[in-house]
């Protein structure tokens, strides 16, 4: 079981999302996943599955409708992970 | 960006993907000659992209029944099953489906799309879980959204992933509806039903199997994957459509659970729509009889499917994981797929073009659907055309 806090999740997401950004772009908690990164719906779903495996959680698709920024995604993962304990 | 500007942006993206020529989506069919041929533009085209698996769309018995129903009962019911649209034919068809599946009861819906929408949204709600295969049809996704349940995908046909997700649900697995398909429409592969049944039993979940593409195709009497694998009694709910092997329009859900009947009172896609027309019901009742006794048609269908699948694989095309009536050619990018689709049409063959995001894993598909009415000569012509086009595509 991976013990983790919200900051660790944010840090991991920022590093992981760098591959979807252009070279000079810095990923911050406020970065918009759809409009500021080159990430389409298929890439996003694949990324979600990767994160689900990493954190050993399942993220419902309907919960993603409220996710806009990197912080929103980190917060969602943290909430699901906390609830699953 | 306002509402109309958003549509303009989507239209521009679509046009950029498909810049020229005859549109692959919504291609105009001028005349339909038979289950295998139609007029597109000014040419006679071989149809290899329909869901007419048993080739029954021109069956004289079905046409006669439809004509008779129009003469006796008119062109439409003009009302819901819950109001004035509950004719004897609708009830008889439900009894015939229940008897066919040896199930307690059946509900007939106006379309196959609504069968999934109505069944799923009636069975689960807020707080429940829909655990669905990632390659599920849009009607399954939409039914889950309508239900308000949590929607969790498992990787396509990946049993380790399904088990992992059931384990993570804990006690919630008992309020979970696992949803799978008999034959998946994109790659034409079948669900590993025995393993799924074991998992659903181990975790106390409920299983819904959509036999839309497998009805008429799998099993001794054409019931679908559950019959083929002798697991019918282990599946809680089976849905399907009239619009493929039965050559009509409509859908159904069968089950041994007495609670199925309650769906008539809670399922909006069942209640708030007009019931199927008398002609549709009459033709479908006859088509169901033909399907049940259609072992020779199934034999021919599988012979055609094997011939095309083996040939494409031998030539070097990447195809779906197993042979079946849906034979998908998998291309790396939309340009290749469009070139192959155009090449086939120039050679008078119509197939389906499927581009991302509709195709799995970001790939593009040129999807062929064979049927029992295709002759050996037609399938051979298709094989030779694919061979001829291969060097210019791959």
Q: Do A58 and B145 touch (CB under 8 A)?
A: no
Give pLDDT tens digits for B69-104. 999 999 999 999 999 999 999 999 999 999 999 999
Q: Does the CB of B172 have a partner CB in chain A at under 8 Å?
A: no
Give pLDDT tens digits for B138-162. 999 999 999 999 999 999 999 999 9
By 3-state DSSP, what share of chain A in percent is helix, strand and coil, each rounded to 5?
60, 0, 40
* Reported confidence tier of residue B106, pLDDT bands at 50, 70, 90: very high
What is the rounded distance in angstroms from the CA atom of residue B394 to the CA atom of residue B388?
Answer: 11
Q: Do A49 and B168 touch (CB under 8 A)?
A: no
What is the rounded distance in angstroms from the CA atom of residue B185 to the CA atom of residue B369?
Answer: 10
Q: Do B153 and A84 touch (CB under 8 A)?
A: no
Q: How many CA atoms lie within 13 A of B363 on its CB side?
A: 16
Give pLDDT tens digits for B9-46. 888 887 777 665 557 788 899 999 999 999 999 999 99
Q: Which residues contact B78 (CB under 8 A, 6 or more apart)?
A: B84, B85, B274
Mutation test of the interface with chain B: which of A1, A35, A44, A62, choosing the one with the most B Cβ atoms within 10 A? A62
| Mean pLDDT, residues B132-142 | 97
* Reported confidence tier of residue A4, pLDDT bands at 50, 70, 90: confident
For chain B, domains (ranges, CATH) are 22-54+295-393 (3.90.1150.10), 60-292 (3.40.640.10)
Q: Do B361 and A49 touch (CB under 8 A)?
A: no
**Min Cα–Cα distance to chain A from B150, Å:** 5
Q: Do A62 and B356 touch (CB under 8 A)?
A: no
For chain A, domains (ranges, CATH) are 6-83 (1.10.1200.10)
Average pLDDT, chain A: 89
Q: Does the CB of B169 have a partner CB in chain A at under 8 Å?
A: yes
Q: Do A58 and B361 touch (CB under 8 A)?
A: no
Give pLDDT tens digits for B194-211. 999 999 999 999 999 999
Q: Cite the DSSP H helix spans in B316-375.
A: 334-346
Q: Residue A26 has what pLDDT? A: 87
**Min Cα–Cα distance to chain A from B248, Å:** 33
What is the rounded distance in angstroms from the CA atom of residue B116 to the CA atom of residue B141?
Answer: 9
Q: Do A58 and B168 touch (CB under 8 A)?
A: yes
Q: Does the CB of B175 have a partner CB in chain A at under 8 Å?
A: no
Q: Are A76 and A67 in contact (CB under 8 A)?
A: yes
Q: How many CB pairs under 8 A join A and B?
A: 31
Percent of chain B with pLDDT over 90: 92
Q: How many CA atoms lie within 13 A of A56 on its CB side?
A: 10
Q: Which residue does chain A place closest to B356, by CA atoms?
A: A42
> Which residues does chain A have within 8 Å of residue B129's beta carbon, measured at their own beta carbons?
60
> Which residues does chain B have within 8 Å of residue A59's beta carbon, measured at their own beta carbons?
152
ipTM of the complex: 0.91
Pick the more confident residue, B92 or B361. Answer: B92
Pick the more confident residue, A49 or A25. Answer: A49
Average pLDDT, chain B: 96
Q: Residue B15 has what pLDDT? A: 79
């Amino acid at each position: 079981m991976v013990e983790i806090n919200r900051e660790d999740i944010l840090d991991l997401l920022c590093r992981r999302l760098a591959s979807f950004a252009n070279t000079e772009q810095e990923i911050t908690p406020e970065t918009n996943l759809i409009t500021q990164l080159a990430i389409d719906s298929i890439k996003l779903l694949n990324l979600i599955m990767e994160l689900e495996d990493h954190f050993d959680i399942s993220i419902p698709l309907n919960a993603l409708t409220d996710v806009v920024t990197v912080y929103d995604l980190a917060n969602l993962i943290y909430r699901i992970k906390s609830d699953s304990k | 960006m306002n509402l109309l500007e958003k549509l303009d942006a989507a239209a521009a993206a679509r046009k950029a993907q498909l810049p020229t020529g005859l549109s692959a989506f919504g291609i105009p069919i001028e005349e339909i000659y038979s289950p295998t041929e139609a007029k597109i533009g000014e040419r006679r085209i071989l149809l290899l992209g329909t869901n007419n698996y048993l080739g029954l769309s021109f069956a004289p018995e079905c046409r006669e029944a439809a004509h008779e129903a129009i003469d006796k009962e008119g062109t439409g019911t003009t009302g819901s099953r819950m109001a004035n649209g509950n004719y004897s034919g609708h009830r008889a068809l439900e009894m015939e489906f229940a008897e066919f599946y040896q199930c307690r009861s059946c509900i007939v819906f106006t379309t196959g799309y609504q069968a999934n929408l109505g069944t799923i949204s009636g069975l689960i709600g807020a707080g429940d879980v829909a655990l669905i295969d990632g390659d599920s049809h849009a009607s399954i996704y939409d039914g889950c959204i309508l239900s308000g349940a949590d929607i969790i995908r498992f990787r396509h046909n990946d049993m380790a992933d399904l088990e992992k997700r059931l384990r993570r649900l804990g006690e919630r697995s008992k309020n979970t509806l696992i949803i799978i398909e008999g034959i998946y429409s994109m790659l034409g592969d079948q669900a590993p039903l025995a393993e799924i049944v074991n998992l659903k039993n181990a975790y106390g979940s409920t299983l819904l199997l959509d036999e839309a593409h497998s009805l008429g195709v799998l099993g001794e009497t054409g019931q679908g994957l559950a019959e083929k694998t002798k697991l019918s009694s282990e599946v809680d709910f089976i849905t399907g459509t009239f619009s493929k092997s039965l050559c009509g329009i409509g859908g159904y859900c069968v089950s041994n659970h007495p609670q199925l009947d309650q769906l008539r009172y809670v399922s909006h896609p069942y209640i708030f729509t007009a019931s199927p027309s008398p002609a549709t019901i009459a033709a479908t009742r006859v088509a169901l009889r033909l399907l049940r006794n259609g072992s020779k048609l199934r034999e021919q269908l599988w012979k055609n499917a094997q011939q095309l699948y083996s040939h494409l694989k031998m030539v070097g095309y990447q195809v779906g994981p197993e042979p079946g009536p849906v034979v998908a050619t998998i291309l790396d990018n939309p340009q290749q797929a469009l070139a192959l689709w155009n090449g086939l049409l120039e050679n008078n063959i119509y197939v389906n073009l499927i581009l991302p995001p509709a195709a799995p894993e970001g790939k593009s598909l040129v999807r062929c659907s064979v049927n029992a009415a295709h002759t050996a000569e037609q399938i051979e012509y298709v094989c030779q055309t694919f061979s001829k086009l291969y060097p210019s595509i791959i």
